[in-house]
Amino acid sequence: MSLDTRIGPEPTLSPPSGSGSRRLKRAVSAVFWFCLTLALTFLGLLAITFFIGRIIPIDPVLAVVGDRASAQTYEAARVAMGLDRPLPVQFLSYVGDILTGNFGTSVSTGRPVLSDLGRVFPATLEMATLGIIIGVALGVPMGVIAASRQGSFVDQGIRVLGLLGYSVPAFWLGLVGLALFYAHLRWVGGPGRLDIFYDGLVPYVTGIMLIDSLLAGDFDVFRNAIWHLVLPASVLGFFSLAYIARMTRSFMLDQLSQEFVTTARVKGVPERVVIWRHAFYPIRIQLITVIALSYAGLLEGSVMIETVFSWPGIGNYLTSALLNADMNAVLGATLVIGAVFILINKISDVLYRVLDPRAR
């Protein structure tokens, strides 16, 4: 901040002594409320998945005992499964199960749902993370440029691009991308995480192929993984780019209409400095929130993308469970995606309040 021309002593922002304990008390109560709303939201999520599990037209007891079982066997199985208890009790025991990591067993894989989810989640994380990197790296500069040339051709183009992010079906973009860049141009790898002859070459450590291949020192696998990752991540990245560019543009327009920007311009500060240092600097905290929300959105968006790219992540797991009517797996995946979504949402909310002095 070499351009900062300080006039006089800095205003003292620290409160007079003696208020330290009050501040601590405020922080403690803030943390308490944060945890309470978080817990309530999670409980709401659990209530919804519990409710969904109860409205399925499939009779869970009948699915276990078969339709030729006698009434006694049926009743015994019903009691054994705890379905004769009142609903609130059933809900409590469901919450207890989830908290102890018991998500039930998947009908289609025959394994506990939680371990299945642990196995597939890294693939989704890898794709969404690369997607958000692409989205931020392109979206933020585009938003800033659009705002600094408001009304120009560039601005209109970026605006339409942003609206396309709300109107293009993700699965369609993935399919067209595959047809164009994989089948015709051969620029990227096809569906899946690796070519088939690279499969199983590197040991499973983190589940994130880019890291695992580097840990094993196998650069061929690393290159192949990038080759396969680049298209699905770019498709995801497009959607976060559209959102981030749009929000950046609107934040920047807010700032550029402020008086301190006019002052800086009048003082003859170069336009580049006005835009990047004076106007962009204050919006970086708002951008953190936007980026976090967009990241959570990408986890959701990956459901559609993974099916198209046969990407063995949580989205693919969820959709194949849906088609097999594997309710334990469906509800487990819904819970995990929902929980991550909620967590990112709330954390970004808190970060915004902690980092931005105006929101305190």
Contacting residues toward other proteins, per CB under 8 A = 40-41, 44-45, 48-49, 52-53, 55-57, 163-164, 166-172, 175-176, 178-179, 183, 246, 249-250, 253-254, 296-297, 299-301, 303-304, 307-308, 318-319, 322-323, 325, 327, 330-331, 333-334, 337-338, 341-342, 345-346
User: Whole-angstrom distance between the N-terminal and C-terminal Cα of the chain?
Assistant: 24
Please say whether the beta carbons of 337 and 318 come within 8 A. yes
For other proteins, the closer of residues 275 and 331 by Cβ is: 331
Partners of 112 in the β-ladder: 105
For other proteins, the closer of residues 209 and 331 by Cβ is: 331
Q: What is the nearest approach in angstroms of other proteins to the Cβ of residue 349?
A: 10
Q: What is residue 110's three-state secondary structure?
A: coil
- Crossing angle of helices 219-256/113-148, nearest 10°? 50
Q: What is the nearest approach in angstroms of other proteins to the Cβ of residue 288?
A: 17
- Run of H or E residues at 254: helix 219-256
Q: What is the nearest approach in angstroms of other proteins to the Cβ of residue 205?
A: 28
Q: What is the nearest approach in angstroms of other proteins to the Cβ of residue 150?
A: 10
Pick from 41, 85, 78: which is nearest to 60 by CA? Answer: 78
Neighbours of 51 (CB within 10 A): 11
Task: Supply φ then ψ for residue 79, to 5 degrees.
Answer: -65, -40
Task: Supply φ then ψ for residue 17, to 5 degrees.
Answer: -60, 155
Supply 351's token pair.
């970060």
For other proteins, the closer of residues 218 and 300 by Cβ is: 300
SS (H, E, C) 308-355: HHCCCCHHHHHHHHHHCCCHHHHHHHHHHHHHHHHHHHHHHHHHHHHH
Q: What is residue 105's three-state secondary structure?
A: strand
For other proteins, the closer of residues 98 and 327 by Cβ is: 327
Q: What is the nearest approach in angstroms of other proteins to the Cβ of residue 7?
A: 33
Q: What is the nearest approach in angstroms of other proteins to the Cβ of residue 308?
A: 8
Long-range contact list for 95-101, CB < 8 A, 24+ apart?
Answer: 95/43, 95/46, 98/46, 98/335
Neighbours of 182 (CB within 10 A): 17
Q: What is the nearest approach in angstroms of other proteins to the Cβ of residue 266?
A: 25
- Crossing angle of helices 327-355/314-323, nearest 10°? 150
For other proteins, the closer of residues 209 and 327 by Cβ is: 327
For other proteins, the closer of residues 7 and 58 by Cβ is: 58
Q: What is the nearest approach in angstroms of other proteins to the Cβ of residue 248?
A: 11
Partners of 105 in the β-ladder: 112
Q: What is the nearest approach in angstroms of other proteins to the Cβ of residue 321?
A: 8
For other proteins, the closer of residues 77 and 337 by Cβ is: 337
Pick from 191, 154, 212: which is nearest to 307 by CA? Answer: 191
Q: What is the nearest approach in angstroms of other proteins to the Cβ of residue 333?
A: 8
For other proteins, the closer of residues 73 and 345 by Cβ is: 345
Matching residue, tokens 């006039």: 7
For other proteins, the closer of residues 99 and 163 by Cβ is: 163
For other proteins, the closer of residues 265 and 346 by Cβ is: 346
